[in-house]
Chain A
Amino acid sequence: MKKKILALVLIVALVASLAVALVACDNTDKDNNTVVSFKPIAKENIKFGLIALHDENSTYDKNFIDAANNAAKKLGVQISIKRNIPEDNACYEAAVDLVNEGCNIIFADSFGHEDYVLKAAQEFPNVRFAHATGTKAHTELLPNFYNAFASIYEGRYLAGVAAGMKLKEMYPDATSLKMGYVGAFPYAEVVSGYTSFYLGAKSVMNEGVTLTMDVKYTGSWYDPVAEKSTAEALIKGGAQLISQHADSMGAPTACAEYSQKNGVLIPNVTYNISTKEDIVVDGVTYKSTYLIGSKVNWEPYFEYLINCVINGVTAVGFDYVGTLATDSVQVLEFGNDVSDAIKNAVAAAQEELLNGTRKVFDLSTFTKADGSTITSYIADVDTDEKFEGDTQVVLNGVFLESVYRSAPYFDIRIAGITELK
């Protein structure tokens, strides 16, 4: 009898709470469904929401978190950050929670977040949603959903120039030089990055010197152990310099440890983080191996987004590509023992990239892996089920990277670079 009563009470409680939950949910967003025009909002009512895949321990996420904090502080708006949000329904829930907190702009930082942010964008047309590295804004055409990225290939190209110069200084008599590159996944974003890095280094090679590069993937964006062991394997394979496109301190640690143990300097070109400062972790110092690095500076884009909210305008274009000119792409500080020759070479190349006389993906500077020249290329710009190419991206002998959408789509394997299994 007791149990029956208990059961009854529980059912009633469950139904009642359900009813409360249903009634309590406000429908203001539903009512305003048709209103899509944005109105100016006072600064004190603006809140910037950031959804991050990891927390500050990941150099990738730290870059976004720092930029968002700086932008919000500079423009005097509030900020709310959701860290450690995986690429599943939790991302959609995090976005909705940020809307309920009163955020007017919500930005997610990882590729896999896109679908879930898109879902939230459809549900809340009065809130702007932006997403890094995504590909769908220019095909979905929602007025409140945007993709953004930066022409980071320019930054990597300049870091590559420094790397090439450094190798030349270290091995003046060598006829062949080799670099190693730790990649996360074999996707266009990584391929575009390592190719531009290689082309930068190749551009400063003397005649008669062949430069090659080995690329090895870790299969993860953040795996300190795998990144370290992959870098070590590349060094064993003859790499004289290491760069990486993965988010932990694994590769820098491998270079520093190897250099300390064996007395052979293996310079490291970083991504998103400078290790020039005297950081000591478990007895390893990075300052002697750090050469240069590049990063995407998200602050200009975040400020642009917040200003759009302040002024009540839609963000211009579905894809935003930050460049060297907008300060969205930055070359990090030089390391401790970098000669003026290297600094001058980087500055000269930067000048040429800025004034347009030099293009990173100039098709006269490289060939396909089989030695054939590239005259046209159909890239997979619009996301579809079959992952097939759809857009001609070669014009006047240049591969137009990040022109048809913000996320990179250069995925040609070129001569001189070997992807190791």
Chain B
Amino acid sequence: MIKAKSDRVPLFHISKRDNVPKWQAWLIRGGAVVAALLVSAVISAILTDGASMGLFFKNLFLGVFGTPRRILNLFQNTAILLCIALAVTPAFKMKFWNIGAEGQVLMGGLACVVCIKYFGGKMPNELLLVVMAAFSIAFSIVWAVIPAIFKAKWRTNETLFTLMMNYVAMQIVACCIFVWVPSGSGVLGVLKYGHMPQLGGQNYVINIIVVAVLVVLMFIYFRFSKHGYELSVVGESENTAKYIGINVKKVIIRTMVLSGALCGVAGLLLVAGTDHSLATTTVGGRGFTAILVAWLGQFSPFLMSFTSMLYVFIDQGASEVASVFNMGGSFPDIITGIFFFLVIGCEFFINYKIKFRSFKKKNEISTPDAEGEDTAVGLDKNSEEVTA
């Protein structure tokens, strides 16, 4: 039997939905995290020739909470990632696609090392730290503002520009290290001066406190300050911003100054707080990971604290799993990849619903996680229908 053409309905079609209740959206996201963990467990079980999945979870948690030191590392790694995420947020809220945080942080770190190299031992440590902070923030601001000025004045593409600046920063750092360490293995080693003091006999505590304070400050800045309002307006619509008398160029440059300054703080925390050294890999891709973290946290400083901690949790836990099962250095990357894939992918199910062709009666299937409610949502009058 050949059906008439008019009878043919696509196998499924996708429709937009606008009014998913918040609790449902979070249920879907939570489901994605759980699914990501389960898929990771299955994959690790396959890779280890069927070692039980329970061992995956055991080592995942042991890797993060196994010793007090590991818990401290969870917070310290979260702090650095969160600090960079906070730095990219103002620009992204303004829809200025700054993917140059990697280079901006690196330049901040370089500034710190320059200070240590030339002022180290010649002034008290506290003063040195202040000088390092000033230089670090200044270097990072310069690195962030150059693309901003080009964007504001000549409308250059900031995505390519900031990306390119990352590589320039890395080459500058490589060049400096070559000058400072002409022989040996080309590793700068631990610098003697400019160490952040310990608090309570513990390393990294200052890092964590500084970033905690920054989270609150940035929340206030976005929520209650005029600047925060202006940059969201520029992000929503430049024309609206112009119409209500906002100086768009000024806002772009000012926001990137802020972005750069925060990257400078991250650079300072990395060099003075944790590494006491510098390499082209010091930032280690966190300039890019921070963008995902910020986006997943919907640019809310508090939500970003959660998402960055979740990322560090997965990464640190997966490293321990890889170490225990001897699965090589790429395993944590695979796990974080699965994690991001599913967590970002689930946003699709929050924003759209899939309707399958009804075979018999009304066999409407939609997102697996949101049951019950979504029929009503799907039939919403306002929903735009898109055929796939």
Q: Which A residues lie at the B interface, using CB under 8 A?
A: 3, 6-7, 10-11, 14-15, 17-18, 20-22, 24-27, 30, 54-55, 57, 81-84, 86-89, 93, 96-97, 100, 110-112, 114-116, 118-119, 185, 187-188, 380, 383, 387
Given A18-B205, A25-B72: A82 in contact with B277 (beta carbons within 8 A) = no
* Residues of B close to A17: CB separation below 8 A: 71, 75
Given A30-B201, A383-B184: 17 more A-B contacts, CB < 8 Å: A6-B302, A7-B302, A15-B212, A17-B75, A18-B209, A21-B202, A55-B326, A83-B323, A87-B187, A87-B279, A97-B69, A114-B189, A115-B189, A185-B186, A187-B183, A387-B182, A387-B183
Whether the Cβ atoms of B69 and A111 lie closer than 8 Å is no
Residue of B nearest to A14 (CB): B212
Per-position 1/0 for B61-96, Cβ under 8 A of A: 000000111111101000000000000000000000
Say whether A119 contacts B190, CB under 8 Å. yes
Q: Taking the complex as formed, is B219 at the interface, i.e. its CB lies under 8 A from any CB of chain A?
A: yes
Out of A22, A87, A115, A187, name the residue touching B202 (CB < 8 Å). Answer: A22
Q: Is B282 an interface residue (CB 8 A)?
A: yes
Question: How close is B223's CB to chain A, nearest CB, in angstroms?
Answer: 8
Residue of A nearest to B279 (CB): A88
Bound Cα distance from A107 to B201, whole angstroms = 25
B187–A111 CB distance below 8 A: yes
Whether A112 pairs with B187 at a CB distance below 8 angstroms is yes
- List, in ascending order, chain B residues with CB within 8 A of A187's CB: 183-185
Q: Are B329 and A84 in contact (CB under 8 A)?
A: yes
Indicate which residue in A10, A82, A87 contacts B185 across the interface (CB closer than 8 Å).
Answer: A87
A275 → B minimal CB distance (Å): 23
With A14-B212, A14-B305 already in contact, the answer to whether A89 and B274 are too (CB < 8 A) is: yes
Task: Tell yes or no: B238 within 8 A of A by CB.
Answer: no
Q: Decide yes or no whether B130 CB sits under 8 A from chain A.
A: no
Closest 5 CB pairs of A and B: A112-B187, A84-B329, A115-B190, A115-B189, A24-B68
Q: Are B185 and A100 in contact (CB under 8 A)?
A: no
Chain A positions within 8 Å of B200 at CB level:
22
Determine the distance from Cα of A96 to Cα of B70 in the docked complex, in whole angstroms.
Answer: 10
Contact B277 A25 (CB under 8 A): no
Known: A87-B187, A88-B275, A88-B282. A10 touches B71 (CB 8 A): no
Which B-chain residue is minimally distant from A119 (CB atoms)?
B190
Contact B71 A21 (CB under 8 A): yes
Most buried by B among A7, A10, A14, A112: A14
CB pair B208 A97 closer than 8 Å: no
Cβ of B328 within 8 Å of any chain A Cβ, yes or no, is yes
Q: By the criterion CB–CB under 8 Å, are A111 and B75 in contact?
A: no
Please tell me the size bucket of the interface on B.
Answer: 35 or more
Beta-carbon contact of A21 and B189 below 8 Å:
no
Residue of B nearest to A86 (CB): B281
B27 at the binding interface (Cβ < 8 Å): no
Say yes or no for B276: interface residue by CB 8 A criterion: yes
- Would you call B277 and A115 a contact (CB within 8 A)? yes
Q: Please, how many angstroms separate the alpha-carbon atoms of A152 and B212 in the complex? A: 52
- Which A residues lie within 8 Å of B302 (CB)? 3, 6-7, 10
Question: CA–CA, A331 to B31, complex, Å?
Answer: 58
Contact (A185, B185) CB under 8 Å given A18-B75, A100-B67? yes
In the complex, what residues of B have CB within 8 A of residue A14's CB?
208, 212, 305
- Report the separation of the CA atoms of residues A151 and B108 in the bound assembly, to the nearest whole angstrom: 42
The reply to whether B185 and A118 contact each other, CB–CB distance below 8 Å, is: no
Residues of A within 8 A of B328 (CB): 55, 57, 83-84
Given the known interface contacts A10-B305, A21-B72, the answer about A83 and B329 at a Cβ–Cβ threshold of 8 Å is yes
The residue on B at minimum CB distance from A10 is B302
Residues of B within 8 A of A87 (CB): 185, 187, 279
| Per-residue contact bits, chain B 299-331, to A (CB 8 Å; 1 contact, 0 not) | 000100100000000000000000100101100
- CA gap between A289 and B138 in the complex, in Å: 58
Q: Which of B182, B185, B216 has most A Cβ within 10 Å?
A: B185
Report which of B186, B202, B279, B305 forms a contact with A25, defined as CB distance below 8 A. B202
Residues of chain B contacted by A11 (CB below 8 angstroms): 212, 216
Q: CB-defined interface of B274-301 with A at 8 Å, one 1/0 digit per residue?
A: 1111010110000000000000000000
Residues in chain B near residue A25, CB distance under 8 A: 68-69, 72, 201-202
Establish whether residues B212 and A82, one from each chain, have CB atoms under 8 Å apart when the complex forms. Answer: no
**Residues of chain A contacted by B67 (CB below 8 angstroms):** 97, 100
- A residues less than 8 Å from B184 (CB atoms): 111, 187, 383, 387
CB proximity of B102 to chain A, nearest CB, Å: 16
The CA of A267 and the CA of B275, in the complex, are separated in Å by 44
A-side contacts of B182, CB under 8 Å = 387
Contact sample, A vs B, 13 pairs, CB 8 Å cutoff: A6-B302, A11-B216, A18-B75, A18-B208, A21-B72, A57-B328, A87-B279, A89-B275, A112-B187, A115-B187, A185-B186, A187-B184, A188-B183
- C-alpha spacing A367/B326, complex, angstroms: 48
Residues of B within 8 A of A188 (CB): 183
| A18 neighbours in B (Cβ, 8 Å) | 75, 205, 208-209
Contact check, B70 vs A97: say whether CB atoms are below 8 A apart.
yes
CB of A410, distance to nearest CB on chain B (Å)? 13
| CB atoms of A82 and B323 under 8 A apart | yes
Are B73 and A93 interface neighbours, CB within 8 A? Answer: yes
From B69, B70, B190, B209, give the contact of A116 (CB < 8 A): B190
Which A residues touch B73, using CB under 8 A? 93
Closest to A7 in B: B302
Query: What residues on B are CB-neighbors of A15 within 8 Å?
Result: 212
Contact A89 B277 (CB under 8 A): yes
Name which residue of chain B comes closest to A30, CB basis.
B201
Q: Is the CB of A7 within 8 A of B219?
A: yes
* CA distance in complex: A116, B203 (Å): 14
Whole-angstrom distance from the CB of A407 to the nearest CB of chain B? 10
A74 to B94, CA, bound (A): 63
Please, how many angstroms separate the alpha-carbon atoms of A276 and B264 in the complex?
A: 54
Contact partners of A24 in chain B: CB under 8 A: 68, 71
